């Protein structure tokens, strides 16, 4: 690919990610969030096949661009939905901690994965390394297919929160406190105080 074609391919992939995020809520309502996530995860490894089989030429460049659009659309739709589920089932007090752990795991794994992918590509070659990566894309599908999320037909209910106490009546007036007198006032006969 030339630099221009490569940029266009990556741009189409970014459009696919935006399309997946925008259509995720409707797809989750129509098919259920669990089945939708599993379907997206099942399609994702298949979109790697054009990259594994590709040869030079315009036809393959268009095929790879289309596959990348679909791959990132599936990844974005699944990711958006699973984040929504995670935020719904997490109590308000744990939201920040949950998000921090998620960000740390995903962002922290990327440089490690890039290093391992580069080492694997150097060791066994680019195409075998891409094949290994494609097979690893089945791992989240297998894990979630064996979890309760496969039967999730609608977004879960949020956890029960503590019922807040009713606010005080607006008609009641706050108690009026009388200022405490100082020691001088208590001992001053002009203020009604009794001398010691």
Inside any domain, residue 49: yes
pTM value is 0.73
Count of structural domains within the chain: 1
- 31, 64, 39: which is closest to 140 by C-alpha? 39
3-state helix, strand, coil split of the chain in percent (to 5) is 75, 0, 25
Minimum mean pLDDT range among 137-146, 150-159, 177-186: 177-186
Inside any domain, residue 11: yes
Q: Which two tokens stand for residue 65?
A: 């661009």
Inside any domain, residue 176: no
User: Rounded distance, CA 137 to CA 141, Å?
Assistant: 8
Expressed as residue numbers, the domain containing 27 is 7-92+137-151
Instruction: Give pLDDT tens digits for 70-94.
Output: 999 999 999 999 999 999 999 988 9
CB 144 within 8 A of CB 37: yes
Inside any domain, residue 78: yes
Tokens 């977004």 identify what position?
155
């Amino acid at each position: 690919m030339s630099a221009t074609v490569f940029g266009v391919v990556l741009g189409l992939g970014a459009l696919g990610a935006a399309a997946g995020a925008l259509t995720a809520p409707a797809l989750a309502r129509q098919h259920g969030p669990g089945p939708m996530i599993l379907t997206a995860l099942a399609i994702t490894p298949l979109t790697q096949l054009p990259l594994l089989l590709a040869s030079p030429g315009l036809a393959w460049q268009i095929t790879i661009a289309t596959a990348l659009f679909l791959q990132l659309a599936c990844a974005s739709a699944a990711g958006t939905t699973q984040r929504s589920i995670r935020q719904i089932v997490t109590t308000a007090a744990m939201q920040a901690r949950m998000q921090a752990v998620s960000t740390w795991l995903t962002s922290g794994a990327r440089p490690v994965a890039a290093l391992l992918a580069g080492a694997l590509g150097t060791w066994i070659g680019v195409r075998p390394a891409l094949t290994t990566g494609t097979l690893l894309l089945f791992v989240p599908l297998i894990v979630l297919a064996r979890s309760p999320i496969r039967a999730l037909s609608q977004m879960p209910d949020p956890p029960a929160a503590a019922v807040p106490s009713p606010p005080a009546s607006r008609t009641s007036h706050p108690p009026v406190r009388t200022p405490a007198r100082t020691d001088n006032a208590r001992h001053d006969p002009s203020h009604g105080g009794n001398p010691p």
